[in-house]
Amino acid sequence: MDISKVRYYFKLLMEEGLGFDLSDPNLSGTPDRVAKMYCQEFFCCVDQPFTDFKSFPNAHHYDQIIVSDKIHFVSMCSHHFLPFTGNAWILYVPDQLLIGASKPSRLVNHYACKPQLQEHLSWEVMNALEEGIKPLGIMVVMRGIHQCMKCRGAQQYGGSGMVTSVISGLFKEDPTMKQEGYELIKLSLLDEEN
């Protein structure tokens, strides 16, 4: 990424494309702020694989579902370049390896840093987890609120969003395991009511 080009072209967009007066003290630093935000935050991980898998041997042969819940994420819609935010649930049944408790959050946040569709983000998270620790099954569920639906077009203000889910292994093969996964997500959501 070239932060100086992002700054230059965003300034051009603001001044010549949109006709804004950048001598306004509230707008004068905006091209720099936007360039930093795009290059250092929103798009910092574009085309970089997730390499931060700290795994541990499954020494006690744990063979039940592990849930990392309510993982907050911020990503960018590739259609309108507006953010979508929400929560993710990552469930897995380990085989030989377990991952550190913070790794699912880091994994989601890593792949959220690029313009994309929520459906693709769900797949990327599942595929990276599958490749990183090769569990017996994975379920990734994401609920996102999309600003392109909220502040333009459909103008959905009441919490309307999108839910995506992807599953593999035991969650795909065994309907009871899949149902148990969804029940654990429901249990996670009950905590919000207390």
Of 82, 83, 86, 84, residue with least CA distance to 72: 86
Distant-in-sequence, close-in-space partners of 76: CB < 8 Å, separation ≥ 6: 42, 43, 82, 83, 84, 114, 115, 116
Q: pLDDT value at position 145?
A: 87
SS3 state at 181? helix
Q: How does pLDDT run across 117-130, given as a tens digit for each residue?
A: 999 999 999 999 99
Contacts of 104 (CB under 8 A, 6+ apart): 68, 71, 88, 90, 129
**pLDDT value, residue 26:** 93
Q: Please list the pLDDT of the chain residue by residue as tens digits (194 residues).
A: 899 999 999 999 999 999 999 999 999 999 999 999 999 888 887 777 888 778 999 999 999 999 999 999 999 998 888 899 999 999 999 999 999 999 999 999 999 999 999 999 999 999 999 999 999 999 999 999 887 776 766 666 667 788 999 999 999 999 999 999 999 999 998 876 55
Q: What is the pLDDT of residue 49?
A: 80
- CATH dotted code for 55-193: 3.30.1130.10
Q: Give the residue extent of every domain in the chain.
A: 3-42, 55-193
Tokens of residue 120, six digits: 């693709």
